[in-house]
A and B are shown apart, each in its own frame.
Chain A
Amino acid sequence: MVGTAPFPCRTTDYLFLTQCEGWISQNAVYFNHVWLAIMYHFLQTGIHRVRALCRILRLTFLMEETAETHFKQAYEHPNFIRVSLQKKEVLAGCCVLATCRQHSWPIAMGTICCLLEANPRLIGVVYQEMVKTLKIEAPPTSIINLLETHCQAYKLSPQHVHEELSESSKDLTKRAAVLLELAADAWLVTGRQPIPILTASIFLAWQSLKPTQTRLKYTLARFCQMAKVTKSSIAPKRVTELKEVLCKLGQELPWLRGDEVTPQTVIQMVDDILNHRLTLLRRALSSHEEALASESVLPPSLEDSIPGSHTNTTCLEGAVSSQTPGQTPKDPFVGEPDTVSVQQQGDVDLTCTVVMEGLPHTGPGTDSQHSQPSVPNSGKRSLFEPPSVRYAKIRRVLVPVVEVTGDEEISDSEIDSYIRTPQEIRDYVEAKEALASSDDEF
């Protein structure tokens, strides 16, 4: 019987134990042995799972050992001994993840999610608890390091796909790394999940390395299917954002002579854009500044120029003017010198700000072109900003706070309005009984 206790369904070990409380008290020693045996059984299962994960990920022997040690320590810790079986399964993956991070082995949490087929949130919770419990330092991997590992998952060699569609992992990684750096500079990476942006960079890299009509016709979904990689619902949005950034830079290519660069046509130019991206960035920023300078001549009908600012905050000019206009081209342009003059003008118009903040940006070209004065935010926007700033959520109109001491008199009538009349109580009771009886009929 020891070690072969049946567990027909996924239940918490703790529940099982409480149900057995009555028996346990009578035969304490025996059931203690049983309990220990059950725990040992699951420990062994967990260790096997850890080993399997390490083998799938082709980790070194040392890393496998470390992961096992972590798992044993965590499993036997009071924080984890009584958690559900599901959490124990996830714990195995979290130990592997922590080990990888400690050894600077780039692996994303999303990969562990896929391998365990578990809820990412649950993995996050268990991972953080485990790190806290074991007091280990597991520095997260940077996104560039993750790129190479992620690239290798894409089956694009000539053996797997048609020659026209194939691409070597090395070339793909190189091109995707540059695109990723560009995305990071343009605020597309901070605060976002890494895997969709990695997928988007690799997809655009693949398209741009050989921008034939065949490749350009491929959608992201089809590409993922071909490369045998899991589809992501967020990656298409990242592709759009990255294309927007490329369009902004592509616009500055001198040999285009002012032709419009659309997301459809930009892929062919990616090669040129990436090769000269520093120059293009500089040019884009300066033309954006010029566009803003010409706009500031117009009287701003509605204020609040700072992107995404709240109605309840007022930035002192000291805060903005401390920023120097001259910046290295690599850095994204944040804020503009001429916003200072606008801030000096006075109070923010509350309702207008609230309404306007929710308006989406009108398009990629608008930034560097002349914006309508009726849309205050876009005119003063910087060239690159985090999308959460550009597409800010519509905020609820703030009700002005009334001065209150907290000790005011409370009127009886107000309190009475919260209490049911006797008639209402009778009606309610009758309705409840009627409902209860109609339920009984079924």
Chain B
Amino acid sequence: MDEDSALDDPIANVPVSTLHVQYFDDPIANVSVSISGTDCQCQGDYESSQCSGPSYLSSLSQPEKDVGKDLDLSFLPEETSGNDASNANVTQDSGVFDACRQEESAETDPKKVAMPGASTFCPMTPVIPVAESSGIIPMLQNIVSTVNLACPLDLKSIALQARNAEYNPKRFDAVIMRILEPRTTALIFSSGKMVCTGAKSEELCHLATRKFARVVQKLGFPAKFLDFKIHNMVASCDVCFPIRLEGLLLDHQQFSSYVPELFPGLIYRMVKPRIVLMIFVSGKVVLTGAKERREIYDAFENIYPILKGFRKQ
């Protein structure tokens, strides 16, 4: 699944527990609600809950169907349908580490969530839209990808013919090649496999990998471009307030590791999405371990309310 299809229908393949409104669209106007019913336990919960109108269940059974722009509110309880100005404060329910709460919080009416601060209605499954979110978007800093050039390579010849290559077999058995635009580095192995690092977006990473492959091609090897895959994405952002790491450690012991003797930041291993966050006292957060951009955004939206809780202590 590449970036284009993701932008068209980003929610179709998202598991129930991490359902989110499209980040780049107006949450009120353009809402598509579809769930992939992979988690049976989730479905069980939904069925036993109040929110079990026929259209909701049908949307559960058709995970790939794009419900379209129309908002289907029939699954919501009577007293709350049509109440635009109400919604639960999503930030209170964003604890995705709590398994049972997670199932509850995975699905709701996005339209209702758009109003910040007004919370007379608490839907079963709040969604975190852009408007009520932190407003901070983590910036991607590094992307690591691999590709298979599918032909054996003579590293000595590459090092000889290419200007931007270094090869020191005693230290490391691969050619280290760099290009200027986008500013990236590639490790090229004799088996034909290549690792590309340093790009700041998925598209730039793809472009850079193609450029490296072209260089190898021009050097006389029948290089192909197979199995391009992004393995890791690193992003960083700033919540703009200092954080009491000791307090965060006490409250989230099972996910956190804070050893100031070894490292000044707290290492938070989020379960869903499976991202590792490094949280520093200055409020800067580094997120890593993502295979997709969405995971980074989800992880940050999950951690932001928690961090806010440790702001004033």
Chain A residues close to B by CB (< 8 Å): 108-110, 120-121, 124, 128, 139-140, 142, 187, 190-195, 306-310, 312-316, 318-320, 322-323, 327, 331-332, 334-335, 385-386, 388-389, 392, 401, 404-408, 410, 414-420, 424-425, 428-429
Residue pair B203, A109 in contact (C-beta under 8 Å): no
Other-chain residue from B201, B280, B311 in contact with A401 (beta carbon distance below 8 A): B201
Chain A interface main SS type = loop
Measured between beta carbons, the chain B residues less than 8 angstroms from A332 are: 242
Using Cβ atoms and an 8 Å threshold, which residues of chain B touch A385? 242
User: Known: A334-B241, A419-B215. Contact between A110 and B135, CB under 8 A?
Assistant: no
Residues in B182-229 with C-beta less than 8 Å from chain A: 182, 200-207, 210-211, 214-215, 218-219
* A314-B136 contact given A389-B242, A415-B218, CB 8 Å threshold: yes
Please determine whether A418 and B164 come into contact, CB atoms closer than 8 angstroms.
yes
A107: min CB distance to chain B, Å: 11
Which of B136, B253, B265 has the most C-beta atoms of chain A within 10 angstroms of its own C-beta? B136
Given contacts A312-B139, A331-B313, A418-B179, contact A404 B260 (CB under 8 A): no
Q: How far is the CA of A385 from the CA of B55 in the complex (A)?
A: 52
Cross-chain contact B205 with A308 (CB below 8 angstroms): no
The interface residues of chain A lying within 8 Å CB-to-CB of B200 are: 401
Q: Which of A110, A187, A406 meets B281, CB within 8 Å?
A: A187
Q: Which residue of A195, A319, A404, A420 is within 8 Å of B204 (Cβ)?
A: A404
The bracket for how many chain B residues form the interface is: 35 or more
Q: Knowing A187-B242, A385-B242 touch, does A404 contact B312 (C-beta < 8 A)?
A: no
Which B residues have a C-beta under 8 Å from some C-beta of A?
Answer: 3, 116-117, 134-137, 139, 160-164, 179, 181-182, 200-207, 210-211, 214-215, 218-219, 237-238, 240-246, 253, 257-265, 280-284, 308, 311-313
Q: Which residues of B contact A424 (CB under 8 A)?
A: 163
**Interface majority SS (helix, strand, loop, mixed), chain B:** loop
**A406-B202 in contact (CB<8A):** yes
Determine whether the beta carbon of A109 is less than 8 Å from that of B262: yes
10 CB contacts below 8 A, A to B, read A128-B259, A140-B259, A312-B137, A315-B136, A320-B240, A388-B282, A389-B242, A406-B202, A406-B205, A417-B163
Q: A429 — which chain B residues lie within 8 A by C-beta?
A: 160
Lowest 10 CB-CB distances: which A-B pairs, in order?
A406-B206, A316-B135, A406-B203, A191-B264, A191-B281, A124-B262, A109-B261, A404-B203, A306-B240, A190-B281
C-alpha gap A320/B117 in the complex (Å): 14
- If A308-B283, A406-B204 are given as contacts, then 14 extra A-B residue pairs at C-beta distance below 8 Å, sorted by A number, are A109-B261, A187-B242, A187-B281, A308-B240, A309-B238, A312-B237, A313-B237, A316-B134, A319-B134, A319-B308, A320-B240, A386-B282, A388-B281, A410-B210
Closest partner residue, chain A, to B135 (CB atom): A316
The answer, among B135, B163, B202, B245, for a CB contact under 8 Å with A314, is: B135
Indicate if the CB atoms of A415 and B214 lie closer than 8 Å.
yes
A429 — nearest CB in chain B belongs to which residue?
Answer: B160
Nearest CB of A to B234, in Å: 14
B245 cross-chain contacts in A, Cβ below 8 A = 190-191
Contact A389 B160 (CB under 8 A): no
Interface centre among A109, A140, A194, A323 (most CB of B within 10 A): A140
Separation in Å of the B251 CB from the closest CB of chain A? 13
A301 CB to closest chain B CB (Å) equals: 21
* Given known A191-B245, A415-B214, contact A310–B265 (CB-CB < 8 A): no
Are A425 and B160 within 8 A (Cβ)?
Answer: yes
* B161 A425 Cβ-Cβ under 8 A: yes
Complex Cα distance, B134 from A307, in Å, reads 17
Q: Is the CB of A389 within 8 A of B282?
A: yes
Q: Are B136 and A313 in contact (CB under 8 A)?
A: yes
Contact of B240 among A319, A388, A419 (CB under 8 A): A319
Q: Is there an interface contact between B240 and A323, defined as CB atoms closer than 8 Å?
A: no
Residue of B nearest to A304 (CB): B240
Bound complex: CA A418 to CA B240 (Å) = 42
CB-contact partner of B238 in A193, A308, A406, A407, under 8 A: A308
A428:B160 contact, CB within 8 angstroms: yes
In this complex, the member of B134, B139, B257, B312 whose beta carbon has the largest number of chain A beta carbons within 10 angstroms is: B312
Name the A residues within 8 Å of B139 (CB-CB). Answer: 310, 312
Q: Do B203 and A405 touch (CB < 8 A)?
A: yes
Known: A415-B215, A419-B162. A310 touches B207 (CB 8 A): no
Residues of A within 8 A of B161 (CB): 419-420, 425
Q: Taking CB as reference atom, which chain B residue is nearest A309?
A: B240
Contact between chains at A335 and B241 (CB < 8 Å) = yes
Q: Which of B211, B218, B244, B261 has the most CB of A within 10 A?
A: B261
Contacts of A187 in B (CB 8 A): 242, 281
Q: Is the CB of A191 within 8 A of B280?
A: yes
In the bound complex, how far is the Cα of B76 from the Cα of A333, in angstroms?
A: 43
